[in-house]
Amino acid sequence: MGRRLTVYFSLLSPWAYIGHAELLRLAAKHALALDYRPVNLMDVFPESGGLPLPKRHPSRQAYRMIELQRWRDKRGLNFHLRPRFWPFDPAHADSVICAMAQAKDASAFITLAFAAIFEQNRDMADEEDIAAVLRESGDDPSWSLRARTSEVAAIYDENRAHALASGVFGSPSYVLDGEIFWGQDRLDLLDDALTSGRAPFVVPD
């Protein structure tokens, strides 16, 4: 594989879902090694100045709905604007990814988990639904049990700490050589950076 791209995200994030197929396309195009690092957004937001959706001004919430429709059309997707089980507690499903990422590529599970949440109205906080998606992705349902270990809990917490230390404040955030690309709408800029091979941009002194 070529360069490493760290991906901070949560299955709770519709924007991470919207950009996931494009992310995989870029990974294939540039031979990227994807380092998936799920994070607890409810911990990241207060520590980085963000607000969870219900606390945002109504105008921001309304604009979000417009943007979801724009990007649904742009990416050629077919998803629910208000999935039946959203919002949900993503901690366990995110932890499954944390566990898998230590040993294998979790992309197939992530792809189907996103589809389950946003396209199929399934509950990815439910143990049975998580196990079913693991089977559908060709993965062993025992990953769900491994995700409940203290070791994986520590990884999930470390991901949050690393995200904040890297300057991450939302999902998805793609970090290439220390440069953050926040939001799936920055994937074109990430593609440009990878194609050009330029040095990472930094905050000037």
Euclidean distance between CA atoms 108 and 87, whole angstroms: 22
Out of 13, 95, 107, 144, pick the active-site residue: 13
**Contact status, residue 5 vs residue 173, Cβ threshold 8 Å:** no
Q: Is 95 a catalytic residue?
A: no
Of 27, 140, 159, 178, give the one whose Cα is nearest residue 98: 159
The tally of CA atoms less than 13 A away on the side-chain side of residue 150 is: 0
Of 104, 87, 92, 88, give the one whose Cα is nearest residue 153: 92
3-state secondary structure of 176: strand
Euclidean distance between CA atoms 26 and 6, whole angstroms: 13
What is the arrangement of strands in the sheet containing 179-182, beginning at the earlier edge strand?
33-38, 4-9, 173-176, 179-182
Q: Which residues are catalytic?
A: 13
